[in-house]
Chain A
Amino acid sequence: MSKFQQIEFYKNKKKEYSLLPFRFEPLSGNNYAVTNLAGEYLTIPRDELENLVKHKLDSSSPHYVNLRAKHFLTDDKTQIAKELLSIKLRTKYSVLSEFTGLHIFVVSLRCEHSCPYCQVSRQSDDKVKFDMSTEIADKSIDLALRSPSKNIKIEFQGGEPLLNFPLIKYIVEAVKCRARDKNLSFVIATNLALINDEIINFCKEHEILISTSLDGPKDIHNANRPRQGGNSYEKAVEGIQLVRAHLGIDAVSALMTTTQNSLGRVQEIIDEYLKYSFTGVFLRPLSPYGFALKTKTYAAYDAEKWHEFYLEGLEYIIDLNRRGVKFREYYTSTILTKMFTSHEPGYVDLMSPSGIGIGAIVYNYDGLVYASDESRMLAEMGDTTFELGNVLKNSYEDIFLNPKLLDPIEDSFAYSVPMCNDCAFETYCGADPVFHHGRYKDFIGRKPESEFCNRNMKIFKYVIERMESDKFVKKLFMSWAQPNA
């Protein structure tokens, strides 16, 4: 029918196109990753990239159509890209206005474990010296409830927080009483060695979740986490099962800490998590301060070795999924959420602007307030750069408008930092001024030398190349990316 036009009729009338803001990084071979303003990526060979930038890319190139559809360029066919990019960015940044969601209460510094990688705990029975008082708890609660965030998550940490269980009860009841129009959630980060029926019943009544440590099979776990009796593993596993029996299978989550003992044994660690029906594992890098640095265990722990550990773990998990076992890796998932959605996962270390203060805040047992968990650890080593005030002496404004908080946030904002501001992966990455300060003595470090940068860059490139070469992995990773999965 001559009434219908051919597709040629609808193609661009003019050959010219305009670039939209985008960045690029080399992958392996001749391939490059390009990312648009909202962090969506494509891969493209270098020569096509150069053609694109120099306005030599032809509209018949298969890359052209993808680049236009994914908002890397506009032409006379479509102008809607700017509006769509704006909306996507707005969604990404909208979490900032929520402000502090995670409030960490360090209810006691006492602990009956003596883990070599721990920065903070005290082997002590001195409750007066090392437990948080109700006065400090009250003031901390006041500050926490000042947060504009609709969703407040309160996490009890230590030492071993169950050693001060009475205060946990006090805080939970007080918060529930005083909080109006807030969605509250509570978590206790505990080694579970001291869990009992009373605690379980309280958790059940108030829907409190448990976060515990499971470093791997018994020998790794117990080597990492010594306690009197040498039974940290047995206690943890017992505790997990007890909690699940009363509070449900999802009531307890587990984190692992990577140490020299863990390296080379990632499959066994993952198998351990599978054994206890966990649906995923967080392959965390070791934080480079505290006892770890003091005892030089950090020097032995090589970033390169960790990367191998991580890759082996990730590949093993991919393979498990291929065989029908649903299991995921959480660090990768956090990155994938930033790659595939406009949702901000809220993981403090991978936020820019930095998540310190904005995402999380720490109220220490002694009333001091820290910008993040890592900030508190740094203070234990004598560096109080990120100590923001005292709940007994300072107001909300004193603490949250403290230049000690605002300066590192501003200075480390990745968008403005050398190399980060050109980096294609900036939207997937974070600022982490605390890490950089602890390691390199300034909020930014020099990114080419920064272990934080190296580690993350390697992961970003790996993840992209893996997805581009394997459809199954792309599908799997896209499912990991979803925030509510």
Chain B
Amino acid sequence: MEVNLIFDATVYSSDAIKKAAYRSINRFAVNIAKDGNDIKCSLTFKDSATEIQIKSYIDEFKKEVLDQDLRELIKKETEGVRNLILAHTFSKTGLIKDE
């Protein structure tokens, strides 16, 4: 069973959609294609999937895309400070007694 979804490429990055697709890999396979300002996803479900399950999987997928979008925002904003903290963590500037 195949279902097609279209996402607005000016709103969602393809990375966000790919990551959401990856998380759903145990439920369906996804083919992603860019078409102008659209990101087209065709979802292929297992034969054993019921209609109720398919609906729920699609809902979950859409939510996951939104979540991935949010994660991108966090990552963009915090990449720098994360590297700073990690650098400090592994540096030898004696925060803990054995340095």
* Chain B residue total in the interface (Cβ 8 A): 27
Mask of A49-63 contacts with B, CB within 8 angstroms, 1/0: 110011000000000
Q: Is the CB of B96 within 8 A of A90?
A: yes
Q: How far is the CB of B20 from chain A (nearest CB, A)?
A: 11
Majority-rule SS of A interface residues: helix
Q: Which residues of chain B come closer than 8 Å to A419, judged between CB atoms?
A: 19, 22-23
Question: In this complex, what residue of B is CB-closest to A446?
Answer: B25
Q: Is the CB of B88 within 8 A of A82?
A: yes
Q: Does A181 contact B (CB under 8 A)?
A: no
Whether A448 touches B25, Cβ cut-off 8 Å, given contacts A22-B78, A53-B74, is: yes
Q: How far is the CB of A291 from chain B (nearest CB, A)?
A: 27
Q: How far is the CB of A207 from chain B (nearest CB, A)?
A: 28
- A90: which of B63, B74, B89 is its contact (CB, 8 Å)? B89
Alpha-carbon distance A449/B29, docked complex (angstroms): 12
Q: Which of B6-14, B36-44, B65-73 contacts A (4 or more CB under 8 A)?
A: B65-73
- B22: which of A18, A93, A418 is its contact (CB, 8 Å)? A418
Q: Does A199 contact B (CB under 8 A)?
A: no
Q: Does B85 contact A (CB under 8 A)?
A: yes
Q: Which residues of chain B come closer than 8 Å to A82, judged between CB atoms?
A: 81, 84-85, 88
Q: Is the CB of B70 within 8 A of A50?
A: yes
Q: Which residues of chain B come closer than 8 Å to A20, judged between CB atoms?
A: 78, 81
Binding site for B on A (CB under 8 A): 18-24, 26, 37, 49-50, 53-54, 82-83, 85-87, 89-91, 93-94, 418-419, 422, 446, 448-449
* A-B residue pairs in contact (CB < 8 Å), sample of 29: A18-B77, A19-B74, A19-B77, A22-B78, A24-B67, A24-B70, A24-B71, A49-B70, A50-B70, A53-B70, A53-B73, A53-B74, A82-B81, A82-B85, A86-B85, A86-B88, A87-B95, A90-B96, A93-B90, A94-B96, A419-B22, A422-B68, A446-B25, A448-B23, A448-B24, A448-B25, A448-B26, A449-B25, A449-B26
Q: Top 10 nearest A-B pairs by Cβ distance?
A: A21-B82, A21-B78, A86-B88, A89-B89, A448-B26, A449-B26, A448-B25, A90-B89, A86-B89, A19-B77
